[in-house]
Amino acid sequence: SYELTQPPSVSVSPGQTASITCSGDKLGNKYASWYQQKPGQSPVLVIYQDSKRPSGIPERFSGSNSGNTATLTISRTQAMDEADYYCQAWDSSTVIFGGGTKLTVL
Amino acid sequence: QVQLQESGPGLVKPSETLSLTCIVSGGSISSYHWSWIRQPPGKGLEWIGYIYGSGTTNYNPSLKSRVTMSVDTSKNQFSLKLSSVTAADTAVYYCARVLGSGTFRAFDVWGQGTMVTVSS
């Protein structure tokens, strides 16, 4: 079955750029989405179809997908961006989630 | 704007059937796919399956033998049944709206989630 791999944790200083990766076999041939989840809250879609932002998501959030890796990039990172981030793809009529990455802003 | 609200028992006994309902407000259930996703305590997200307004379904292969989803367009709601539950089914269960078709799926609207514990 298809798998998506994320680093368990990423740290970034306020104002800097955070990059969270998601790896899967030929992931670049599929579309990747990204979700932000803060403690005790439901996930929020921040990127879909590799690089599209839903209404209301700041431009600081961007995405790319090529080869075997999709990347979520958060520019000018703020304390409010500290959360768990999950990548997700669609393969063989099945939804797959990555294991999640905890972003720490310190 | 579309809002989703899950409801159902918070405690289910082992070997019994978990039943949840998601009420859709602010929009019609008929024009989208709708999904169930769960998250065990302290763990990641797991997709359970989705159902279209017409009743067409698609389930996660790992859960397919135990999952049944249905839709009631007259009440603008859809439901999940998960049979033969064990402690491993303890999780927060979310309902969500599916964005996309063809080559991609994403989840753009989520319910608040409901915690279901499997215990005797």
A 18-37 residues with CB < 8 A to B: 30-31, 33, 35
pLDDT for B38 equals 98
Q: Residues B52, B55, B57, B63: is their CA dihedral positive or negative?
A: positive
pLDDT for A42 equals 98
CB count in 10 Å sphere of residue A43 = 25
Q: Above 90 in pLDDT, residue B103?
A: no
pLDDT for B68 equals 98
B4-30 in b/e burial notation, b at 16+ Cβ within 10 A? bebeeeeebeeeeebbbbbbbeeeebe
Cβ–Cβ under 8 Å, residues B45 and B37: yes
Nearest to B107 among A45, A94, A99 (CB): A45
pLDDT for B31 equals 84
Alpha-carbon distance A77 to nearest alpha carbon in chain B (angstroms):
23
Q: How confident is the model at residue B101 (pLDDT cuts 50, 70, 90)?
A: confident
Candidates B31, B42, B105, B56; CA nearest to A84 is B42
pLDDT for A99 equals 98
A 37-56 residues with CB < 8 A to B: 42-45, 48-49, 54
pLDDT tens figures, B48-100? 999 998 889 999 999 999 999 999 999 999 999 999 999 999 999 999 999 98
Q: Residues B31, A33, B95, B37: is their CA dihedral positive or negative?
A: positive
pLDDT for A15 equals 97
Please report, rounded to a whole number, the percentage of residues in chain B having pLDDT higher than 70: 100
Report the C-alpha dihedral over residues A105, A72, A25, A67, rounded to 10 degrees: -130
pLDDT digit string (tens) for chain A, length 106 residues: 899 999 999 999 999 999 999 999 999 999 999 999 999 999 999 999 999 999 999 999 999 999 999 999 999 999 999 999 999 999 888 999 999 999 999 9
Q: Residue type for A18, please?
A: A
Candidates B102, B104, B35, B36; CA nearest to A52 is B104
Any alpha helices (H) in B15-117, and if so which ranges?
Answer: none
- Residue A95: list chain B partners with CB under 8 A: 35, 47, 50, 60, 105
- Residue A48: list chain B partners with CB under 8 A: 99-100, 104, 106, 108
Selected residue with higher pLDDT from A58 and B30: A58
